[in-house]
Amino acid sequence: MASYSHSLTTTTLQTIKKLATPSFVNLPKSHTCLHSTSLGFVVRAVSVSSSSSVAHAQEEKKKQWKATIDFKWIRENKEEVFTNIKNRNADVDLELVLELCDKLLCLQKEVERLRGERNVVANKMKGKLGPSECQKYIEQGKNLKEVLATLEEDLVQLTDKLQQEAQCIPNLTHPDVPIGGEDCSALRKMVGSPREFSFPLKDHLQLGKELDLFDFDAASERVGCLALLSHLVIKQCENAQLPAKKDKVHTVKLYASRASIVHLFVLNGIMELKLSSCDFLAGFGNCL
């Protein structure tokens, strides 16, 4: 138990991968299968460092999808774009988009100017310089580097904000599209005529159930059992009530229409659940 508790304190449980492995190969009818055959499930818990998850989240945050938007065309056709936004009832602030675009252009020019100055200073450092001149250019290079780092970060944030606002601008609609709700829709063309039947129509769910193609009851029991297993694993990991040795078995009773008994093992930080069929159990119990 001590070894497992230590692993819980140093790592964070990130994912639980459930691999459902039935003990049978050829699947007969679902309702007969659940009665007669015991099922085996394996659940493995993978522990990774919490710091890696934070770094991954930050990396995903930086990778923002950027749409190809012609801001110059939007500015030149501002009235048309505004009318289209109004007709499509879109929640877009066009003035804010144009304002952010102007700020972005100004900031890009400033960043390019400072990058040019940094390159000039770097080229001067390659020549023969005295100690005082060399120190002077070193200080200039440091100052330009710090200012550029701040402006480049602002440039990234401003670009992301502009993308978030501009991606809400809807595409231009066709001039023939009527403006309004469903009542304003116009029928352009009808091919053929709807068929008429002398008997009530049934959907695929009704047909599948009547022809014994689907077994919704067995499917709901299977899914419910897996949901209870997942809930059990999460709760046991939160409470750190898992055995440290494989020879120590924890039995868990799950309630369902045809319930099961779960035998839980832990070996080297890997958790294994084995599910076996049993009679009806009324109630839900923690590890015994």
250-268 pLDDT, tens digit each: 444 444 334 445 555 444 4
Burial 136-145 (b: 16+ CB within 10 A, else e): ebeebbeebe
> What whole-number distance in Å separates Cα of residue 264 and Cα of residue 119?
64
Structure tokens at 280: 């009806």
Task: Report CA Rg, the chain.
Answer: 33
Tell whether the model's pLDDT for residue 102 goes beyond 90: yes
Q: Which residue has the tokens 């936004």?
A: 85
Taken in order 86, 87, 91, 97, the sign of the CA dihedral is negative
What confidence score (pLDDT) does residue 278 get?
Answer: 44
Q: Which helix (H) or strand (E) holds 1?
A: none
Q: What is the mean predicted confidence (pLDDT) over 116-136? A: 84
Which residue did the predictor score with more confidence, 235 or 26?
Answer: 235
Candidate from 117-131, 172-186, 219-233 with smallest mean pLDDT: 219-233
Tell whether the model's pLDDT for residue 12 goes beyond 80: no
Candidate from 52-56, 177-181, 207-211 with smallest mean pLDDT: 52-56
Tell whether the model's pLDDT for residue 128 goes beyond 90: no
pLDDT, mean over the chain: 70
Candidate from 102-106, 124-128, 228-232 with smallest mean pLDDT: 228-232
Which residue did the predictor score with more confidence, 213 or 237?
Answer: 213
Tell whether the model's pLDDT for residue 41 goes beyond 90: no
Which has the closest alpha carbon to 218: 28, 42, 41, 43? 28
> What whole-number distance in Å separates Cα of residue 250 and Cα of residue 273?
10
Which residue did the predictor score with more confidence, 58 or 141?
Answer: 141
Q: What is the mean predicted confidence (pLDDT) over 57-62? A: 52
Q: What proportion of the chain, given as a percentage, has pLDDT over 90? A: 28
What confidence score (pLDDT) does residue 275 get?
Answer: 52
3-class DSSP assignment, residue 270 = strand
Residue 77's pLDDT band, with cuts at 50, 70 and 90, is very high
Which has the closest alpha carbon to 223: 247, 257, 249, 181? 257
Q: For 195-207, how does the pLDDT look when each residue is reduced to its tens digit (9 = 90+)?
A: 889 999 999 989 9
Q: Which domains does the chain have, with CATH numbers?
A: 2-55+215-277 (no CATH), 70-168 (1.10.287.40)
Q: For 131-177, how does the pLDDT look when each residue is reduced to its tens digit (9 = 90+)?
A: 888 888 888 888 989 999 999 999 999 999 999 999 999 999 888 88
Taken in order 158, 159, 162, 164, the sign of the CA dihedral is negative
What confidence score (pLDDT) does residue 63 get?
Answer: 55
Which has the closest alpha carbon to 17: 55, 47, 60? 47
What confidence score (pLDDT) does residue 239 get?
Answer: 67
